[in-house]
Amino acid sequence: MKRSIRHTVFLDRDGVINEDSPDYIKSWEEFRFIPGSLEAIAEFSRRGYRVLVVSNQSGVGRGLIPATTLEQMHENLAAASEAAGGHIDGFFFCPHRPEENCPCRKPRTGLILQACQRHGIDLSCAAMVGDSAKDIITARRAGCALAVLVRTGDIATAQAALSAEGIRPDHVADNLKTAAEWIVDRWG
């Protein structure tokens, strides 16, 4: 049975769904879910939202993570989401290092534009949830209706960078679960 999808939620991965690491998440054994993140994905899915993960993964371009390992981590994340009652509709990632100036590396909009092309997304019905200034800037540049910053990343750095750019998120949430509650309350 095909789902009727009105809304899309773009989720950053590291720092939103799972704990981030300055040394990169290089294997499934290093992957640690942030409490409530799987429940949030399940809630979005129950509401009929499309859930897409959009993530910079320069560890691939730096030679720290083989692309096949990253794909396996995403398959495991998708399976864990399914087991919790949720569904991730797709993964979009930029494997490039910042100095490569790739158009898909956030805060550029390439990942979101790829997702829109593949899934026929109306950005006026889309939200982005992220833990960094890059995520919120990407949402604004792409034209997402909502941009939500979560406190599970380096919130002070994110807020300072956003303030310097004159950009504000629509909401600041404690974590993905409370971000989901806020988004669902806005959109039903």
* Three-class HEC string of 146-159: EEEEECCCCHHHHH
pLDDT value, residue 136:
98
Taking the C-alpha atoms of residue 46 and residue 107, their distance in angstroms, rounded to an integer, is 29
Domain membership flag for residue 71: yes
Cβ proximity of 146 and 128 under 8 Å:
yes
pLDDT value, residue 4:
58
Q: Structurally, how many domains does the chain consist of?
A: 1
Domain membership flag for residue 183: yes
Cβ proximity of 149 and 158 under 8 Å:
yes
Query: Which CA distances in Å does 187 have to 5, 123, 131, 177?
Result: 13, 14, 21, 15
Domain membership flag for residue 60: yes
Cβ proximity of 137 and 115 under 8 Å:
no
pLDDT value, residue 188:
78
Residue 93, domain extent: 8-187
CATH number at residue 163: 3.40.50.1000
Domain membership flag for residue 92: yes
Domain membership flag for residue 151: yes
pLDDT digits (tens, 9 = 90+) for 26-37: 999 999 999 999
Domain membership flag for residue 2: no
Domain membership flag for residue 154: yes
Active site residue 154: no
Active site residue 14: yes
Which of 12, 89, 131, 135 is catalytic? The answer is 12
Pairing of strands 126-130, 8-11: parallel
Domain membership flag for residue 1: no
pLDDT value, residue 6:
87
In tens digits, the chain (188 residues) has pLDDT values of 445 578 999 999 999 999 999 999 999 999 999 999 999 999 999 999 999 999 999 999 999 999 999 999 999 999 999 999 999 999 999 999 999 999 999 999 999 999 999 999 999 999 999 999 999 999 999 999 999 999 999 999 999 999 999 999 999 999 999 999 999 999 97
